[in-house]
A and B are shown apart, each in its own frame.
Chain A
Amino acid sequence: MNFELTEEQALVQQMARDFATKEVAPLARELDREGRWPTELVRRMGELGLMGVAVPTEHGGAGADAVSYALAMEEIARACASTAVIMSVNNSLFCDPLLKFGTEEQKREFLAPAASGDKLGCFGLTEPASGSDASHMATFAEKDGDHWILEGSKNWITNGPHADFILVFAAHDRHAGSKGTTAFLVPEGHPGFLPQPRDHKLGIHAAHSCTVFFERCRVPKAWQVGEPGMGFKIAMATLDGGRIGIAAQALGIARAALEESIAYSKERKAFGEPIANKQAIQFMIADMATELDAARLLTLRAAAMKDRGVRHTQQSAMAKLMASEVATRVAHKNIQIHGGYGYSVEYDAERHYRDARITEIYEGTSEIQRIVISATALKG
């Protein structure tokens, strides 16, 4: 048993921390307020290897591992949760499934440019009427010779308005439930693939998402990922990894909030002394830090298991559940410690609170994580 980071993991963490502190943090408030897509940061993340952290170098990635990816995600999210989720969608939801399930040609054509940051990927699973219940999707794939014709719509597609590629899931057999789903790659600009205007949300304002329509979108068999019927399995395996990314995003948000609470409580005086001298504040900070460490250990455990190639579905769900709920609690307490200033947009506390909230919803709501965790626990 060894909790120490490897040299490579520590290096990736340090590189991400330097980049986040120097280049991401100074822009975070403006990106949020203006809802501006961080074009320059996405490009820089590509240059630094952050868009394909755990993708081998021969496929355009940085050749590091899932633990490094989680560490880097936390650092980016600590500066800007929007920038972090752009990174996580490309890494976890686009590159990772292509690495595992893509053909050599797909890896060349789609994975390598996405992992190197030249192109951007997104992931189309959720639909207007099916989110948590992903096996009942309405988007349909109809066989047409050696092509497929996609018809339907997907929503909440993070990176959608700017992505070059989408990995999309469609039912090819409506009666086969989860076994009737297939995954496809579609490039931006392809006829019939129609991204819509971006969504307006509570938080992660700079990470644009949108609905996308598929209108008689004809794609060659070469863009089919895995075999017909494997779609649900690919999606679930992808989310096992994605949840590590979102857990790490939540850790970053929570860490930013905790650090702000510590700094502010030492500065701010009430009744003649810093509020850090009051046990009410001390105990909040103790609980915030303890829960954050617990969530981080769960996240790194899941990442280390992914790196060892062992099944980590339950561990990823635990990490995602705890980290996201901790992030919301910590962000909430950070506002409380800041008082009125915490409620004002002059400080970052309210941004963290808005940004944290989504981590309890996307890539499997807390309720889905509890289903996954209890199903495993009750099976044994």
Chain B
Amino acid sequence: MNLELTEEQRLVQSAARGFAAEQIAPRAAAIDRDERIPADILDGLASLGLFGVNLPDALGGAEAGVVAYHLAMREIARACASTAVTMAVTNMVGEVIAAFGDDETRRRFVPRLCDGTLRAGSFALSEADAGSDPGAMRTTARRDGNGWVIDGEKAWITSGTFAGVFVVWARTGEPGPRGISAFAVPADAGGLSVGRREDKLGLRGSPTTALHFDGCRVPASALLGEEHGGFRIAMMALDGGRIGIASQAIGIAEAALDAAILYAKERETFGAPLADRQAIQWMIADARTELDAAILLTQRAAWLKERKARFSREAAMAKVYASEAAWRICDAALQIHGGYGYTRELPIERHLRDVRVARIYEGASEIQRIVISRDLLR
């Protein structure tokens, strides 16, 4: 057992940290307010290899592994959670296409996702009435000549307005999870249009939209993996995605805790810094402990994925623990900041808004607990 980072992991971490501190953090409040991530930030992520951290060099990826991906996600999320989720979904989509696309599809999309040409990848699984239960989806794909025609509506699509490629799940067979297939669909496919943009509590810099498929035609090669094998692909992608979201939550909490520690040392009440009060010290001790536990759970899941071992239960543990701990930590940080924490002058209220979704997307906490207990009670 050796929990030290490798040289390569440290390099990725420090490159992401430098970029996040210089280019992203100073603009994070504007990204949140203007509801837009500047193009040069996406370019910067791509040029650092952060759009394909765990993808092979041959497909344009950084091939740095899953632990490195976790480290980079944390650094980006510490500066801006909206930018981080764009990165997370792009990496996940790149990995799905690389793992399940045929050679042509892989070469068509993955290198251009990694180098930023496609702006971002997007993951289209959820529907208005099928979130935690994707087996209930109603979007369909039917064979038509040499290809497929997709019809239906998708919801909660991260990066919907600017993603260059979508992985879309649609029903190709029987009701339930065994009749679903996955497809790689370029944003310019005929019959695909972007719907209403959601007005959200947090992650306001990252557009979340509906997608409409109206006779959207894709070639046979768009099918990822086996016909009707889409549910398994979604579950595998989400296992990995949960490592990304756990890391995002950790990054947000790290930002909030750092700010709370600084503020506690500065701010005086009753003639002494807040940091001298045990009430405040206790919040910081619990935050630091839970944060370290979340980091270790996430790194363990990342390490298992990197070794190609089973990691579903571990990823679920990382996701549920990290997202819930991060939310508690952001709330404690706001409490320590008092009224200032509640204002937009400081980033604390943004952290608290941004972190809340980590308990919902890529499997709600309740889904993680089902995954964990099902594995244990088998």
Contact = CB atoms under 8 A, between A and B. Distances in A.
Chains A and B are bound partners: yes
Interface of A: 1-6, 9, 67, 262, 265-266, 276, 279, 282-283, 285-287, 289-291, 293-295, 297-298, 300-301, 304, 314-315, 318, 321-322, 369-371, 373-375, 377-378, 380
B320 A377 contact: no
B261 A298 contact: no
A285 B292 CA distance: 22
A286 B281 CA distance: 29
Interface string B64-91: 0001000000000000000000000000
Contact of A298 (B1, B286, B293, B320): B293
A294 B366 CA distance: 18
Nearest to A5: B1
Nearest to A287: B369
B1 A282 contact: no
A293 B297 contact: yes
Contact of A304 (B3, B292, B297, B317): B3
Contacts of A266: 377
Secondary structure at chain A's binding surface: helix, strand, loop or mixed?
A: helix
B221 interface: no
Contact of A1 (B2, B261, B317): B2
Given A276-B377, A378-B265, A304 B1 contact: yes
B272 interface: no
B293 A297 contact: yes
A297 B370 CA distance: 22
B376 A289 contact: yes
21 contacts: A2-B3, A3-B3, A3-B304, A67-B1, A265-B377, A282-B377, A286-B369, A286-B372, A287-B369, A289-B373, A293-B297, A295-B293, A301-B296, A304-B1, A322-B290, A370-B285, A373-B285, A373-B288, A374-B281, A378-B261, A378-B281
Nearest to B9: A1
A304 B2 contact: yes
Given A266-B377, A374-B281, A4 B261 contact: no
Interface string B83-108: 00000000000000000000000000
A298 B288 CA distance: 12
Contacts of B159: none
Given A290-B317, A373-B284, 8 more contacts: A1-B9, A9-B1, A286-B368, A289-B317, A321-B285, A321-B289, A377-B285, A378-B284
Given A266-B377, A289-B372, A370 B281 contact: yes
